[in-house]
Structure 1
């Protein structure tokens, strides 16, 4: 394949300059391989500099005919745009054929969120007198109070807590670090759990720095957090389909509805693109109506 050296360079670019994870890099390379497969089906092997938008549109039609979902097509187009942008930056091609290539329209389904009453009910169902009660209260408060992904919670370490300045350091996707503010309620529960409960645990070697531990002294797994949330929701009588991500979604939504700046929310969530953050901004219609009534001169 004539493109092999370009693909190799692109892989190095993603790894070294964009610091992407192995899985993310593989996803980009798979997108390019799909385009290669398309040209192979035509017994064609065009030079990268000669590829046109017409050919790319035909490629997208080919993906559609194969039954590929619009969301997957959009993912492939995103990968190709990144590849051709790299080629342009490196002056390997003079024109980017993906510049005017549009992704299929996607309908964004917003996940369920919890209001503050439901979150309080969730926490109220936890029996703090039980061995894991204080730990579970701290888990819910940190998930909701900091908007963490479930993996970010399970990987949270004592050495990444900065209670005096009320911040925690999070290692997010692609090992990217960010500092997130943490409220006094979450900090208080963490302090009680760490200094009054966790200190009595028989901690497994190599897990000494992880905050949240299971009964065997090892860090909690993702699935254990999912099970905890579902169990608490059932006990609280919440009928919505929720997961740890529901608390992250609620965190962002409540901030936006309270007047927080979208860029600040983006930073706290650890999103590389603000368009990702926008899915969390489904501000209710009553609030929008109130804003236009208050500020628009013709209202």
Structure 2
């Protein structure tokens, strides 16, 4: 759940637009002490804390978060964010206005049904939903996923607020299993809901950036799939730091450790994590980069 940032990596201020949603993205400030890290993975997260902002997560509405993450699948946030905004403007209560934590509750004079985004989308015309989210790509497929998720929430929980309470109050493993039973919800989507809505410690969503960087650094096995990387990180990074590690690693992947041209190809001094990186699959002398699983 992120937008591209053009900010200078050295900027001391928190980016206003990023994976955490910037200053209004929910959660409270977190502080890390690199000197107390018990693993290299934790040291990496702490170093990222020096590069970027430090924040814990939670506070976003669970169903809205689920919809937002579905929209982000297989597309950039440059495309998916406008689709999300259009969807909320069309179907959200009071023009989609939310409180400071992302909750979209009823305003004075609204009934619960008119303020329930899940109920509204469950009853909406699917072709209309598809047209509304067309900016996100794969809009026919995603409109089906979103409507089926809305119907699931209404059937299983009654209302979106009840689903939100379930995500916050139930054991993460149980919530994760429930979410994975929904068509179109994969491990990353489920974990993002747990992190950004539930504020659950110990949840480390793995997207393509986290998958690539963790294996390239050597803090996850080079042949690990997404679930293998998640397991490696969640067992070596303390729970309260997992959410920040996810968001900051994405930012690091965009600014330094890209798929085809990581900064270290310009010399190790170009990368702020050079001292913690095994550079698996990266040959600086040959100026070549391969998937860590294919490295010698």
**Structure-2-length-normalised TM-score:** 0.26
TM-score normalised over the length of structure 1: 0.26
